[in-house]
C-alpha cells in the first residue's frame, strides 16, 4: 500500500497528457499606414487609462463616469466574471481529498451468507444499526487531468474578466460617440436657427419691396418657403437629438424621462493629435483579442482532459469511525471500524465515447484558434480603417472650410446685388442654400473627426498613453455634470480592483 501511494504521487508529479498552451503566431505588420510606430511587447492587462479625457470635455467625463458606475450590461458582465472566478476556485478543490461525516441510524437485516471470518451457520442480524464514520476519498492526478481542468477553469475566468473589459471599453466608446453626435446636432441646430434668423430678415426685405412696388409676390412666397423649410429642419434635428439623449440615458443606467443633456453653445473642439512612437502591436491590449486567446487556452487544456479519459483512474478510499447496533455503546473502543485501500477504474469499453470526445475537443480547439486569428485580423482592419478615416476627414475638413468661406462670400455678394436690383431673388436663395449646406457639412465633419478618434482609441484597446491628462475643470458650474458625478459608492473601485483579487 505504501509503495502504491509513493508510485502514484511520483507519477502524478511528472505525467500530464495533452498539449501545453503556446501563444499562436499572428501576422502583425511592422507598422500601420500613415503613422510612425515603435516596437513593443504589450500586455493584455496594460492600463487602458482615462482615455476620454484627451477630448478635454467635462460633460463627456461626467457621462463616461456615470456609465462606468451604473451601466446594467456592465454589471451583468461583472456578475458573469464572479461566476467564472468562483468556478475556477471550485476546481482547485479537486486537488485535495474529500472528507465527509455520513451519520446514519437505520434498521437493517443482514444476509445469512454475508462474508464473515467465522461460520454463521444461517445466522443473520435483524435490528438497528448506528454508524458514525469519516469517509475519505482522494483521486490521484496521475495523468494531469485535474491540472488540465484547473487550467481550463482559470482560462475561463480570465476570459470572463476580458469580457468585462471589452464591454466596459465598448460602453465608454459608445457614450463618447453618441455624445459627439449629440453635440454635432447642437451645432447644426444653431446654424439652422441662424439661417432662420437671416431668412426672416430676407423675408422682411421681400415684403417691404412688395409694398414699395419694387418686388413681386413670387419673391415674398419664395422667402416664406425658405423660412418654413429651415424651421421644419430644426424639428427634424431635435427629434434626432432626443433619440440620442435616450440612448445616453440607457448607457448611464438612468430613466430616459428624467435625463437630459443641456445644449452646447460653442463649436466642437479639434480632435487630439495622434502621438508618434505608438507601439505597432498596442492593439494586442484589446480585450476582445485577449478574450479570444483565453478561449483558445481553455480549449487547449481540455484536450488534455479528454486524453486523460483513456487512462486508469486511481482513488484512495478510506473509512473509519464507529459502528454499533446499540447507540449506548456506539463510541466504545469495541465499536471502532476502519477500511483503507485504492480504487482503480480502468476504461475498457465506452462505445467510442472517449475517442469522439477527444475528436470534439480538438475541433473546439481548432475553432478557437480560427476565432483568435480572425479577431486579430479584424483588429488590424479596425486600426487601419480608423487611421484612414482620421487622415481623410482631416483633408476633407480643410477643403470643406474653404468651400464654406467661398459660399458665405457668394451669399453676401448675391444679397448685395439683389438689394441693388442687379440680380434676381433666386440667386439669393441658391447662395443661401449653398451656404447653409456647407456650414452644416463643416459641423458634421468636425463631429465625424472626433468620432473617428474614438474609433481609433477603441481599436487599439484604450488610450495610446497611460499618462492621460486630467480633465479641465468646468469654466462655469454645470448642474448636469454634478449630478452625473455622483457614482454609486464602491462600484467604480470594484471595477478598478478586478485583477487585484486573487
183 and 262 Cβ atoms separated by less than 8 Å: no
> Within 13 Å, how many C-alpha atoms sit on residue 393's CB side?
21
> What per-residue confidence (pLDDT) applies to 210?
81
Cell, residue 221: 412666397
How open is the CA angle 367-369-374, to the nearest 5 degrees? 95
128 and 107 Cβ atoms separated by less than 8 Å: yes
User: Could you list the pLDDT tens digit for every one of the 502 residues in the chain?
Assistant: 555 455 555 545 556 777 887 777 765 555 556 554 444 343 555 556 788 988 888 899 999 999 999 999 899 999 999 999 998 888 888 888 888 888 888 888 888 888 877 777 778 878 888 888 888 888 888 888 888 889 889 998 989 988 888 899 999 999 999 999 999 999 999 999 988 888 888 788 778 878 877 777 888 888 888 889 889 999 999 999 999 999 999 999 988 888 888 887 767 788 887 766 555 556 667 888 888 889 999 999 999 989 988 889 888 898 888 888 888 888 888 888 888 888 888 888 888 898 998 999 999 999 999 999 898 888 888 888 988 999 999 999 999 999 999 999 998 998 888 877 787 878 888 888 899 999 999 999 999 999 999 999 888 888 765 443 333 333 333 334 334 333 333 433 444 344 344 4
Tell me the C-alpha to C-alpha distance, in Å, between residue 496 and each of 48, 500, 501. 11, 8, 10
Number of neighbours of residue 89 by Cβ within 10 angstroms? 14
> What per-residue confidence (pLDDT) applies to 31?
57
59 and 472 Cβ atoms separated by less than 8 Å: no
Phi first, then psi: give them for residue 305, nearest 5 degrees.
Answer: -65, -40
Distance CA 190, CA 434 (A): 17
CA dihedral 242, 246, 251, 252 (to 10 degrees): 90
390 and 452 Cβ atoms separated by less than 8 Å: yes
Task: Report the length, in residues, of the chain.
Answer: 502
DSSP state of 470: P
The separation between the first and the last C-alpha atoms of the chain, rounded to the nearest angstrom, is: 38
pTM: 0.78
> What per-residue confidence (pLDDT) applies to 485?
37
Rg of the chain (C-alpha set): 37
Amino acid at each position: 500500500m505504501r509503495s502504491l501511494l509513493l508510485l502514484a504521487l511520483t507519477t502524478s508529479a511528472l505525467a500530464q497528457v495533452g498539449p501545453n498552451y503556446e501563444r499562436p503566431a499572428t501576422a502583425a505588420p511592422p507598422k500601420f499606414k500613415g503613422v510612425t510606430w515603435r516596437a513593443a511587447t504589450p500586455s493584455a492587462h496594460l492600463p487602458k487609462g482615462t482615455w476620454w479625457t484627451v477630448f478635454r470635455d467635462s460633460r463627456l467625463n461626467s457621462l463616461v463616469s456615470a456609465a462606468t458606475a451604473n451601466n446594467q450590461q456592465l454589471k451583468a458582465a461583472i456578475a458573469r466574471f464572479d461566476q467564472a472566478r468562483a468556478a475556477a476556485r471550485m476546481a482547485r478543490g479537486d486537488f485535495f481529498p474529500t472528507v465527509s461525516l455520513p451519520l446514519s441510524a437505520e434498521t437493517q437485516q443482514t444476509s445469512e451468507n454475508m462474508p464473515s471470518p467465522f461460520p454463521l451457520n444461517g445466522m443473520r442480524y435483524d435490528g438497528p444499526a448506528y454508524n458514525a464514520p469519516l469517509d475519505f476519498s482522494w483521486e490521484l492526478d496521475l495523468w494531469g487531468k485535474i491540472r488540465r481542468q484547473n487550467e481550463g477553469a482559470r482560462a475561463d475566468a480570465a476570459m470572463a474578466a476580458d469580457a468585462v473589459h471589452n464591454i466596459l471599453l465598448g460602453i465608454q466608446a459608445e457614450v463618447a460617440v453618441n455624445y459627439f453626435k449629440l453635440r454635432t446636432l447642437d451645432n447644426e441646430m444653431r446654424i439652422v436657427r441662424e439661417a432662420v434668423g437671416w431668412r426672416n430678415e430676407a423675408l422682411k426685405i421681400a415684403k417691404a419691396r412688395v409694398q414699395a412696388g419694387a418686388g413681386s409676390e413670387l419673391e415674398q412666397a419664395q422667402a416664406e418657403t425658405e423660412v418654413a423649410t429651415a424651421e421644419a429642419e430644426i424639428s427634424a434635428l431635435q427629434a434626432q437629438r432626443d433619440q440620442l439623449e435616450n440612448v445616453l440615458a440607457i448607457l448611464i443606467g438612468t430613466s430616459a424621462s428624467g435625463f437630459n443633456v443641456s445644449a452646447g453653445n460653442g463649436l466642437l473642439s479639434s480632435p487630439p493629435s495622434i502621438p508618434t512612437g505608438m507601439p505597432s502591436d498596442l492593439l494586442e491590449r484589446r480585450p476582445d483579442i485577449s478574450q479570444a486567446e483565453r478561449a483558445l487556452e481553455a480549449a487547449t487544456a481540455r484536450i488534455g482532459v479528454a486524453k486523460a479519459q483513456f487512462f486508469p483512474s486511481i482513488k484512495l478510499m478510506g473509512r473509519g469511525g464507529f459502528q454499533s447496533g446499540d447507540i449506548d455503546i456506539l463510541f466504545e473502543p469495541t465499536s471502532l471500524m476502519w477500511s483503507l485501500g485504492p480504487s482503480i477504474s480502468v476504461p475498457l469499453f465506452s462505445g467510442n465515447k472517449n475517442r469522439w470526445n477527444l475528436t470534439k475537443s480538438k475541433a473546439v480547439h481548432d475553432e478557437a484558434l480560427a476565432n483568435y486569428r480572425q479577431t486579430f485580423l479584424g483588429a488590424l482592419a479596425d486600426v487601419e480603417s480608423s487611421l484612414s478615416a482620421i487622415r481623410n476627414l482631416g483633408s476633407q475638413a480643410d477643403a470643406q472650410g474653404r468651400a464654406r468661406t467661398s459660399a458665405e462670400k457668394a451669399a453676401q455678394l448675391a444679397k448685395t446685388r439683389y438689394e441693388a436690383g442687379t440680380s434676381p431673388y433666386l440667386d439669393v436663395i441658391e447662395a443661401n442654400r449653398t451656404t447653409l449646406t456647407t456650414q452644416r457639412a463643416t459641423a458634421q465633419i468636425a463631429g465625424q473627426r472626433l468620432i473617428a478618434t474614438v474609433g481609433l482609441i477603441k481599436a487599439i484597446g484604450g488610450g495610446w498613453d497611460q499618462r492621460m491628462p486630467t480633465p479641465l475643470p468646468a469654466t462655469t458650474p454645470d448642474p448636469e455634470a454634478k449630478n452625473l458625478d455622483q457614482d454609486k459608492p464602491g462600484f467604480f473601485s470594484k471595477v478598478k480592483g478586478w485583477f487585484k483579487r486573487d
